[in-house]
Amino acid sequence: MAVKFDIQNLNAWFGSKHVLKNINMKIEENAVTAIIGPSGCGKTTFIRCLNRMHEITPGSRVSGKVIFNGVNIYDNGVDPVMVRRKIGMVFQKPNPFPMMSVYDNVAIGLKLNGVRDKKTLDAAVRRSLELANLWDEVKDDLKKSGASLSGGQQQRLCIARALAVEPEVLLMDEPCSALDPIATAKIEALIRELAKNYTIVIVTHNMQQAARVSDYTAFLYLGELIEYGATKQIFENPKHELTEKYLTGKFG
């Protein structure tokens, strides 16, 4: 297994609230890792710690190491902006910039990074939209507003936007929770396709979605990593009683 993230003794707080407790795990490169667990268990906080987004929230704090490509992203001197460029994020609710065109929504990351050459931008926009399986649906009208697309298209636009800056990792925070089953199926197929070249960590409340799309599954409960393993093993034969209870709906 090629390790993309080596997470060591990761702890996170919101003020005095200890939301992640001593997490240790390795995340495989070019694979899909699903994070599951009940509401409030720390799933979203966990992935936000993987690209230093947690620290944006006032009063938040992190300890421990997140070693990405051999470097601890929390070391002094590591630029969080660079970290977030390599480790992109897709959010629960599709959030294209409503006043921007489809084209600009995808190009914005590159433009902010100083790319001005139109040919380079055109190529990157096309490549990203193709990767996100959206190109064929929008290629004839790239100038229309991103907000005019359907919910599923908007989410794929956000994925294209994240891909445009050529990240190595995509963090996805419940990317399908606002989508209908058809749009969800498209995103799930896209996730599998992208996993050939990207490392994907997805938070989901939908356990069947975790079972469908992921190679590995981690179960978090009250901020602790209870069980982590191959998705087949977790869903067929969980080792920990809490995992079994959560998966079968016998919780609480």
Partner 1 sequence: MSRIIDKDLKELSATLYRMGELAHRAVLEALIECIEGKEAHEEVREIADTLVAMADHVEDKAFELIARFQPVASDLRTIKSYMKIAYDFARFGRYALDISSINKQIGGLRGCEEWINSYVKRMSEKTLEMVRSSIESLKSHNTQIAEKISEREKEVDKMYFEFIDDLIKCGATIKCAVSSVLIIRYLERIADHAAYICESIIYIATGRKEVLR
**Positions that interact with partner 1 (CB under 8 A):** 207-208, 211, 235-238, 243-244, 247-250
- Give the shortest CB-125-to-partner 1 separation in angstroms: 38
- Give the shortest CB-242-to-partner 1 separation in angstroms: 11
| Neighbour tally for 123: CB within 10 Å | 11
Of 97 and 235, nearer to partner 1 (C-beta) is 235
Helices (H) and strands (E) in the chain, counts: 10, 10
Q: Strand pairing partners for 171?
A: 89, 201
- Give the shortest CB-96-to-partner 1 separation in angstroms: 32
Of 35 and 149, nearer to partner 1 (C-beta) is 35
Of 166 and 244, nearer to partner 1 (C-beta) is 244
- Give the shortest CB-230-to-partner 1 separation in angstroms: 14
Of 104 and 188, nearer to partner 1 (C-beta) is 188
Rg (Cα) of the chain, in Å, rounded?
18
Instruction: Locate all alpha helices (DSSP H) within the chain, ordered by sequence.
Output: 43-50, 80-86, 102-112, 118-131, 135-138, 151-164, 181-194, 207-213, 231-236, 241-247
Question: CB of 61 within 8 A of CB of 109?
Answer: no
- Give the shortest CB-103-to-partner 1 separation in angstroms: 40
Nearest to 220 by CA among 23, 77, 51: 23
Of 58 and 249, nearer to partner 1 (C-beta) is 249
Q: Which residue reads 């433009």 in tokens?
A: 111
- Give the shortest CB-215-to-partner 1 separation in angstroms: 16
Of 45 and 214, nearer to partner 1 (C-beta) is 214
Q: What whole-number distance in Å separates Cα of residue 126 and Cα of residue 66?
A: 33
